[in-house]
């Protein structure tokens, strides 16, 4: 059973809202209880960490082009970004797999 496109789009939309709420400095709100809020905050911080790592890598690449950065520093920043993206994709795949497993459970 494949995950419907609208479910995936909704999940990415929710993640984008969380990131924008954290960027504005407000508390992310995904659900009604404290547990949901804590999870939403953790998720938003994790995604923001990946974005920050990517921005750092981009800045390092631009410094390298302008002759202001060391090659070793740039490669390290690119590797950190790659690792962060692979981790995020792995977590996303696990969440989708868990969702699909829950959907297969008999009620």
DSSP classification of residue 29 = -
pLDDT in tens, 11-50: 666 666 666 666 666 655 555 555 567 877 888 888 888 8
The DSSP element (H or E) to which 22 belongs, if any, is helix 5-24
Give dist(CA 59, CA 65) in Å, integer. 10
Structural domain containing residue 12: 5-104
Give dist(CA 88, CA 33) in Å, integer. 25
Look at residue 53 and give its three-state secondary structure: helix
- How many domains does the chain divide into? 1
Q: Are 22 and 28 within 8 A, CB to CB?
A: yes
| pTM for this predicted structure | 0.58
> Which pLDDT score is estimated for 74?
87
């Amino acid at each position: 059973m494949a995950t419907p496109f609208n479910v995936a789009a909704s999940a990415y939309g929710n993640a984008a809202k969380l990131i924008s709420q954290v960027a504005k400095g407000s508390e992310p709100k995904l659900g009604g209880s404290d547990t949901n809020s804590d999870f939403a905050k953790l998720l938003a911080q994790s995604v923001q960490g990946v974005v920050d790592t990517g921005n750092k890598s981009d800045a390092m690449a631009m410094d390298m082009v302008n002759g202001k950065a060391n090659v070793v520093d740039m490669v390290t920043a690119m590797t950190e970004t790659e690792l962060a993206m692979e981790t995020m994709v792995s977590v996303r795949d696990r969440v989708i797999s868990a969702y699909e497993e829950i959907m297969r459970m008999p009620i």
